[in-house]
Amino acid sequence: MSMQALKSILLAALVALSVFLSFELWHGLWQSPSYASWTGPGGLPMASQPTLTNVTRPTQVVVQTSSGLSVDVPGSTGYEQALGWLKGAELADVRTASTLPAGTSASITYVFGVALTPDELAQWLPAVSRLGASHSVDQVRLYVPAGTRTVDLALPSGGSYTVGTTTLNPDALIKTAFQAVSRQPWVAWGGGGNTDLPEDSITLQREQWQTSSVSLLPLVRSFFVNPQGLTRIEENAETVLWTDGSRAVQWNGRTNTLVYADPNPVNQNTPDQGISAMISFLQSHGGTPANTIVQENELLSSVDGATNYTFRTYVNGYPVVGTAGAYALDWLDGGAAQYQRPLTNLVKQVGEASVRILPEREVAAILSQFIPKSSLSSLNVELGYAVQPDGQGQVTLEPVFEVTQNGTEVAQIDAVTGVILKGGSAS
């Protein structure tokens, strides 16, 4: 819902409210409960999730050697081992470098979904204070320069790098990196962003889950200072809007999603506390699952001047794509200008089956068929899960390749069969 559309809806709501109240006053119905009014207490208890530690985890850990690359996903053994190295790294000989060595025996790159301040990064790199860095970073790199017996750590800093020498064992890092690449090689996709795909077929789980729905009305009330004074408007058979004349909340019954919008989100009396402020906002409005990681994407924002932060749900190390697992927040000068979230929660896994995922070369061949005029290098392709309702309160998490261009989803491809599930010429 764009800001212009919100303004139009609010104007229509105010006109409708004026006509409605005039009707009530004329007919003496103001003493009776109004269909458009709202009674009852507002607010929700603060949710325990998300937490700073959960949402600022690396979205992936990229391992590279002279023989190729591999990717460790959240929760995997390699991922946890890599985090252990980062947390245990002690630093000395801190220096600034204009470039990093062209040759390395092995490297590990920690890719974060957002740029982290030094205080936020300290959860993963306690020794960050030794670097004297004052800027935010979205990547950290451990590497063994060719011909040396040391493991260095680098933070990007504008056009240069802040580098320190660690106490980590270079032989252990090199051995682990080569084993990872040999066991499960990945290839870098040509699109922008940090998108890599398995070079060969890998095994994932197709899962069935029981679900539950978030209680709608308490959640709606939580967005308003005075929930007793709301106007309720049935826009059509699928959507309902609530507004206090300024803010608005829209519920889509078909997708079971909720959108909140505030045309004046800035609170000049409250300093912008970055991710911590966003977490507080989310906790105040129903929270998120524990397995979410935040990712910044300026291209996705539908509000002028705002930046989009999407808190994505992860299952087995891979994101749930689309709106079903995304808590999308357009953040403007320390306030929420727009927020969209699903109302369906995954409660309990009730079934699973192992499936083989298509290798990267087959994905490229499929894309070249249904988007023949588009260069593959302009597309981002990411392996994840799509939520497919089964009815009776259950969903299937289906492995898919999500295809995006300039931040917008253009297709979903069944990662097992190659069938185009959404978008493309076959949809």
Confidence of residue 248 (pLDDT cuts 50, 70, 90): very high
Q: State the CB neighbour count (10 A cutoff) for residue 390.
A: 11
- The residue with greater pLDDT, 191 or 124, is 124
Kindly indicate the confidence band of residue 301, based on its pLDDT and cuts at 50, 70 and 90: confident
Query: What would you report as the CA-atom Rg of the chain, rounded to the nearest whole angstrom?
Result: 24
* CA angle (252 as vertex; 247, 256 as ends), nearest 5: 120
What pLDDT is attached to residue 238? Answer: 95
Cβ proximity of 145 and 101 under 8 Å: yes
Within 10 Å of residue 220's Cβ, how many Cβ atoms? 22
In the predicted structure, residue 86 carries a pLDDT above the cut 80? yes
- Please determine, for residue 298, whether its predicted confidence score (pLDDT) is greater than 80: no
What is the per-residue pLDDT for 36? 29
Residue 145, pLDDT above cutoff 50: yes
CA atoms of 308 and 29, how far apart (whole Å): 44
Q: Does the pLDDT at position 192 exceed 60?
A: no
Q: Higher confidence at residue 10 or residue 326?
A: 326
Least confident of 201-210, 271-280, 390-399: 271-280
Q: Report the 3 state secondary structure along 55-70.
A: HCCEEEEEEEECCEEE
What tens digit of pLDDT does each residue of 320-366 get?
Answer: 998 888 999 999 988 999 999 999 999 999 999 999 999 999 999 99
Region of 334 on the Ramachandran plot (φ > 0 left; ψ -120 to 50 alpha; else beta): left
Flag whether pLDDT at 1 surpasses 60: no
Predicted confidence at residue 93, as pLDDT, reads: 96
Segments in 2-136 forming alpha helices (H): 3-27, 52-55, 77-88, 118-121
Ranges of beta strands (E only) in 227-359 are: 231-234, 239-243, 248-252, 257-261, 292-297, 307-315, 318-319, 326-332, 335-342, 344-356
pLDDT at 38 over 60: no
Token pair 């030094």 is found at: 118
Domains in the chain, ordered, with CATH? 3-19+35-51+213-345 (3.30.310.160), 56-184 (3.30.1490), 204-209+347-423 (no CATH)
The chain-wide mean pLDDT, for the chain, equals 87
pTM as predicted: 0.88
pLDDT given for residue 326 in this prediction:
94
Q: What is the mean pLDDT of residues 112-127?
A: 96
